[in-house]
Amino acid sequence: MDSSGVQGLKGSWDYVDGENFDDYMKELGVGWALRLTAKGVKPRLIISETDGKWTVRSESAIKTVIYEFTPGVEFDETTPDGREVKSTISFEGNKWIHTSIDKSGKKSVVTRFIDENGQQMINLECNSTKARRWYKKAD
């Protein structure tokens, strides 16, 4: 796979900017205080893969969150805001599709891909609320 595909997501990424993230978190049920804290967080993402098992590490001044997965296999995940969800990540073409369902049945879908500028784009969706975040390759 070339660097524009899912394999291109491997490496370290620094947060650049986002749109509508607060509304997305509100739709997920994240409380005001946590949303306020999240607004100031500019995480570094580190994505790696060994023998078909992928690891995502999100590092910030506040907290480091790590999850591991095998594509297409459901796993238990604790989100950065502390919600326990069932997640499945699948690779479809050049996109990484992360689907999560919480205990109340609320579903969110996070799609990652490399755009034409080589940035990692992350589209987030819960019900009709959509948000975007983007990251650039770390130096």
Write down the pTM of the prediction. Answer: 0.91
Break the chain into its structural domains and give their ranges: 4-137
Angstrom distances, CA of residue 85 to CA of 18, 79, 82, 107, 120: 23, 7, 9, 9, 24
Helix (H) or strand (E) holding 37: helix 32-39
Mean pLDDT per 10-residue segment, the chain (139 residues): 74 97 95 89 95 95 92 94 94 96 95 95 97 95
Determine contact, residues 6/96, Cβ cutoff 8 Å: yes
Question: What one-letter code names the amino acid at 35?
Answer: R
Report the CATH fold assignment for 4-137. Answer: Lipocalin (2.40.128)
pLDDT value of residue 4: 52
pLDDT value of residue 1: 38
pLDDT value of residue 3: 52
Question: What one-letter code names the amino acid at 84?
Answer: E
Determine contact, residues 112/98, Cβ cutoff 8 Å: yes
Strands, E, within the chain: which ranges? 11-19, 44-50, 53-59, 64-69, 75-78, 84-92, 95-102, 107-114, 120-126, 129-137
pLDDT in tens, 30-67: 999 999 988 888 999 999 999 999 999 999 988 899 99
pLDDT value of residue 81: 84
- Longest Cα separation, the chain: 41
Distance CA 125, CA 30 (A): 14
Helix (H) or strand (E) holding 25: helix 21-28
